[in-house]
Structure 1
């Protein structure tokens, strides 16, 4: 079954792309999609490029989404974690609101990188919605701790 994924940032849709629904257990929705852009995005620690395949996990009750990234040949690059509000799922679409904080976990877990904390601070979320800001920071801390303890796979089990 096909779905659309809409990534929202600062109140507007940043990107919308088609994805194949793999599972929906009522709390977590898992989809698979190719890299949504036709260009390479080089972060320095990983490159997302045409041909890459993302298996994406969105939760209705958690403040993050986890995206497993593989090459077109199936080689695991790692996991890109977006701190988000809980996903809204309905009418063939998943809406995920990005809260600027991210975490990268390399395939062998040797690199666990907190990303975009400056963007999060500049977003003003802490002033506008302190409860959401606390939930976002707690989500990032949880993801990082699980990765550093070698227990990251537990959230995907």
Structure 2
């Protein structure tokens, strides 16, 4: 992946990741641009949430580092999650519209569905299907809903097959 990851002074290039959900900005945070090959954009950022987020099967907390992969032509984002010591926790995947890079903002629209794959690959789970159903997207925008469900199924199959890492190389 060719990377425009440093400016003319040698400093790491920065982007602001803007996660939009239901037409509103859910969160925005600064990230280091690691690479952009014209299709996939890779950034790294510390855990941007407030405090600890305990899902029961994984905890996101201060010191965690996310290496995030976004595509301009795919309906998902894959986030590798490591703890402060560098140990891999797993991958958190958001089902999204394809990412849009506008200047220094990377805008991603969250479509409510998520997937978790643990570091050892034994725990693969769909998340937030209830939120997706409640969003009414299948009724208001059936094409987008179908693309979101297909993306979730694709990621889940890759996670179970053990070929998940091929997305990130």
TM-score, normalization by structure 2? 0.92
Who is 2:7 aligned against?
A: none
Matches within 5 A, 1:46-125: 46-125=58-137
Partner of 1:4: 16
1:135 aligns with 2:122: no
Partner of 1:147: 159
Count of aligned residue pairs for this structure pair: 157
Distance 1:112 1:125 in 2: 24
Equivalent position SS for 1:103: strand
Paired position in structure 2 for 1:36: 48
* Cα deviation, residue 90, structure 1: 1.7
Normalising by structure 1, we get a TM-score of 0.99
Superposed displacement of residue 85, structure 1:
0.3
Q: Considering only CA atoms, is the larger Rg found in Structure 1 or Structure 2?
A: 2
Moved >2 Å (runs of 4+): none
Matches of 1:52 and 1:142 in 2, distance apart? 27
Between the aligned partners of 1:129 and 1:57, the Cα distance in structure 2 is 25
RMSD of Structure 2 on Structure 1 (CA): 0.5
Gaps of 5+ in 2: 1-12
Q: Which runs of 5+ in 1 are unaligned?
A: none
